[in-house]
Amino acid sequence: MKNPSKKMKNSNDMTEATLVLGTAQLGMPYGLNNTRGMPSEDEAFAILDVAHAGGIGVLDTAYAYGTAEDVVGKWLGSRKLGGKVRVISKMKPHVLKDYPDGARAADIVREEVAKSLQRLGLESLDAYLLHSPHYIYISHVVDGLRKIKEEGLVENIGVSIYDETEALHAVEIGMDYVQIPYNVLDRRLHDTDFFKLARKKKVTVFARSPFLQGLLLMEPERIPPHLSHARSLVERFQEIVARHNLSPAEAALIFARTRSRADYVVFGVESLSQLEEDIRSGSMKDDALARELEENFQDTSRGIVNPSLWSKAKR
Ligand SMILES: NC(=O)c1ccc[n+]([C@@H]2O[C@H](COP(=O)([O-])OP(=O)(O)OC[C@H]3O[C@@H](n4cnc5c(N)ncnc54)[C@H](OP(=O)(O)O)[C@@H]3O)[C@@H](O)[C@H]2O)c1
């Protein structure tokens, strides 16, 4: 089943980012605040149904998200939506360590994308991203991405980054998609030429983690000790949004959609009620709120904004 794709609009002609549903939560126990484990298959299907009915036409998944690709594949098949939903997946992280002969990297990219296509029950993907961002510097790997695109297995190629330098390099070498972390506390890429260069080279930008994996939405007193240094920031964020009569989730999504300068915002949910709230805020705007948040939160430490630095976080 060919996965639909057309050259997505890029950032110079969009004022507000469009929502993309991330699926890490559907395939493994995930999320800082997650006390329920992962949703059942029925609840995962209900979440995907409501997302689709709510106009979300793109799903972000990955080989590394436990059973997420299988769940999405089964859902697409059962709903006969293989041709109507765009699917972005990501290569298994650190896969090259299993293959000492680096020169085979291009073949490994092809073998890995084939595994994701098989799990998703698709003939092609809208996009295939590197999940280990430093692979963007390995020419054999990048060649492998270009080859699977030429073969029509994927429409777009790219990378999901953690650091600014990886994002800038990805634009420089002409990737189609770059996925960046972005939220009220993490606006590091605004301090670089990334968005200007991405616009110039028609690179499509995806901003993930608008809730900073749920940290921005947690009751401050429930924030675990290893993140206690973030508590005062979360308290201040929630005070400000309360004054604007918004929920933390609504405010965080409004901010990411209207301030990121990205084309898409990739968010995750654990439950149907979370999804319904997030979709509802999908068309909300509050420039006064966004300005106040920008003024109040500057240069947050990397130890807070980069979840892979959260000592005890499960990923
Ligand atoms: N390196 C990468 O490529 C990478 C890294 C991270 C994420 N991603 C992608 O981006 C997607 C989203 O990122 P993310 O999950 O890290 O972060 P996120 O979207 O910032 O946070 C998602 C978490 O926020 C909480 N939440 C969401 N809506 C809520 C609501 N209305 N009310 C209360 N809590 C709510 C849920 O956690 P609780 O219920 O536990 O609070 C949920 O798991 C992932 O699914 C994945 O597809 C990619």
Q: Are 195 and 205 in contact (CB under 8 A)?
A: yes
Ligand 1 atom having least distance to the Cα of 277? 31
Given this model, what pLDDT does residue 33 score?
79
Ligand 1 centroid to 269 CA: how many Å?
Answer: 6
Q: Is 213 in the pocket of ligand 1 (CB under 6 A)?
A: yes
What's the Rg (C-alpha) of the chain? 19
Given this model, what pLDDT does residue 37 score?
85
- Average pLDDT score, the chain: 92
- What is the domain count for the chain? 1
Please report, for residues 59, 87, 102, 109, the alpha-carbon distance to residue 25 in angstroms, rounded to integers and kept in the order given: 12, 16, 32, 25
* Residue among 69, 274, 276, 305 to mutate when testing ligand 1 (max atoms within 8 A of CB): 274
Cα–Cα distance for residue pair 282/211, rounded to 1 Å: 14
End-to-end CA distance of the chain: 31
Least confident stretch, 11-15, 93-97, 105-109: 11-15
* pLDDT surpassing 80 at residue 140: yes
Ligand 1 centroid to 125 CA: how many Å?
Answer: 22
Q: Is 247 in the pocket of ligand 1 (CB under 6 A)?
A: no
Least confident stretch, 33-37, 149-153, 156-160, 242-246: 33-37
Q: Is 259 in the pocket of ligand 1 (CB under 6 A)?
A: no
Given this model, what pLDDT does residue 14 score?
56
Ligand 1 centroid to 313 CA: how many Å?
Answer: 13
Ligand 1 atom having least distance to the Cα of 60? 47
Q: Beta strand 204-208 with 264-267: parallel, antiparallel or unpaired?
A: parallel
Q: Is 269 in the pocket of ligand 1 (CB under 6 A)?
A: yes
| Residue 7 or residue 246, greater confidence | 246
* pLDDT surpassing 60 at residue 285: yes
* pLDDT surpassing 60 at residue 6: no
**What DSSP letter does each residue of 283-314 carry, written as one string?**
G---HHHHHHHHHH--S--HHHH-GGG-TT--
* pLDDT surpassing 80 at residue 252: yes
pLDDT band at 10 (very low <50, low <70, confident <90, very high): very low
User: Mean pLDDT over residues 130-135, rounded?
Assistant: 97
Percent with pLDDT over 90 in the chain:
85
* pLDDT surpassing 50 at residue 291: yes
pLDDT band at 7 (very low <50, low <70, confident <90, very high): very low
Q: Is 238 in the pocket of ligand 1 (CB under 6 A)?
A: no
Q: Is 237 in the pocket of ligand 1 (CB under 6 A)?
A: no
Given this model, what pLDDT does residue 312 score?
54
- According to DSSP, the residues that pair with 159 across neighbouring strands are 130, 178
Q: Looking at residue 60, what DSSP letter applies?
A: E
pLDDT band at 313 (very low <50, low <70, confident <90, very high): low
- Please choose, from the candidates 269, 278, 310, 252, the residue with its C-alpha nearest in 3D space to the C-alpha of residue 30: 269
pLDDT band at 314 (very low <50, low <70, confident <90, very high): very low
Domain membership of residue 95 as a residue range: 5-312
User: Mean pLDDT over residues 185-209, rounded?
Assistant: 97
User: Mean pLDDT over residues 146-175, rounded?
Assistant: 98
Tens of pLDDT, residues 24-49: 999 999 878 777 889 999 999 999 99
User: Mean pLDDT over residues 265-292, rounded?
Assistant: 96
Given this model, what pLDDT does residue 34 score?
78
Task: Determine the length of the chain.
Answer: 315
**CATH number of domain containing 135:** 3.20.20.100
| Residue 8 or residue 143, greater confidence | 143
